[in-house]
Amino acid sequence: MKWIEAKVIFDFKDKPLAVDLISNLFYDLDLKGVVIETPEIESFQDWGSDPVIPEEDAVIGYLPCDDQLEKKQKFVEQHLSRLEKTKGIKYKIIYSDINEEDWTQTWKTYFQPEKITGNIVVKPTWREYIREHDEIVLEIDPGMAFGTGTHPTTSMCIRMIEKYLKRNSAFLDIGTGSGILMIAAAKLGAIKVWGTDNDPVAVDIACKNLIQNRISESSFNILDADLVDQITERFDLVAANLTTKTILILLENVNRVLVQDGILVCSGILETDKDEVLKKMQDLDFECVDILTKDEWISIACRLS
């Protein structure tokens, strides 16, 4: 498949906020992930003798060349113009043709092993990493699925799972992407890990990543489905790293897949949307038990009261 690379080069004093706001434009178009470039990126020994370091701050999204391309380009351009007027984010956008094979390789240059918690490390499958004593290493190749573990929304989910998951429990990941949260749950002691995703490519990638991490195929199940539409069992801990809009929809019926006193972890929520989500939770008898914040994003853990 042919793709269009939409590279948004920006200038703004609050770089994390600009990245999040621009990234959200692409997520609103149902893109599974973006590439972030910054001149401040740290180089590593295994980058080789001549690493490619970006010259400007940029957010890159990949748009499929289909009959919706022009409409999506117009959407991005209009919302970038709005961000410039309302937030003062200066930008320019550059479009380039790209093949799917190039798409899947472009971002790999910048994906390095990263310690997510005191005991959990996310490692790309193509990088070397020497495991320290008792560390849990999650091996990930996201391919064209969202979820490297390094984005604040994903890293906060992993922290919540580490904190609230009990050994020998059942875990469900809604919108699993690369399967990284399922892998984390399995390695933290869950005996049943399920996931859903409405992208069949992501379902295939997640399955491969679970097998790569030696998670028993008898203990996991990944469904090509929207949210919890096809889930008929109940789980001790449910994670949903989605958008605010999707989480608000999910809250309407997620209670039917939770055991009594089960924990729901919601992430992918901007701080500006926190009150709306908390009110929805309260209206549906969910009790907030924990909130994490990182780079304008929040993650909420709650249970039915």
pLDDT digits over 8-53, tens only?
A: 999 999 988 998 899 889 888 877 667 788 786 544 444 344 445 5
Determine the average pLDDT of the residues in 103-132: 74
pLDDT for residue 49 = 42
Residue 243: phi and psi, rounded to 5, are: -100, 160
In the chain, % of residues over pLDDT 70: 87
Q: Where are the domains of the chain?
A: 2-107, 111-304
Size of the chain, expressed as the number of residues it contains: 305
pLDDT of 62 over the 90 cut: no
- Which CATH number is 2-107 given? 3.30.70.3400
Q: What is the mean pLDDT of the chain?
A: 86
Distance in angstroms (rounded) separating the CA atoms of residues 153 and 49? 33
DSSP string, 16-67: HHHHHHHHHHHHTTT-S--EEE-TTPPP-GGG-SS----SS-EEEEEEESST
Q: Choose the weakest-confidence range: 17-26, 259-268, 275-284.
A: 17-26
pLDDT of 104 over the 60 cut: no
pLDDT single digits (tens) 169-197? 999 999 998 899 999 999 999 999 999 99
Contacts of residue 284, defined as CB under 8 A and 6 or more positions apart, other chains included, come to: 251, 252, 255
State the pLDDT confidence band at 141, using cuts at 50, 70 and 90.
confident
State the pLDDT confidence band at 265, using cuts at 50, 70 and 90.
very high
pLDDT for residue 150 = 66
DSSP state of 79: H
pTM of the model: 0.70
State the pLDDT confidence band at 286, using cuts at 50, 70 and 90.
very high
CATH 3.90.850.10 is held by the domain 111-304: no
Determine the average pLDDT of the residues in 130-136: 83
pLDDT for residue 69 = 92
Q: How far is CA 270 from CA 116, 205, 209, 243, 274, in A?
A: 20, 27, 28, 9, 7
Distance in angstroms (rounded) separating the CA atoms of residues 288 and 197? 26
pLDDT of 253 over the 50 cut: yes
pLDDT for residue 47 = 39
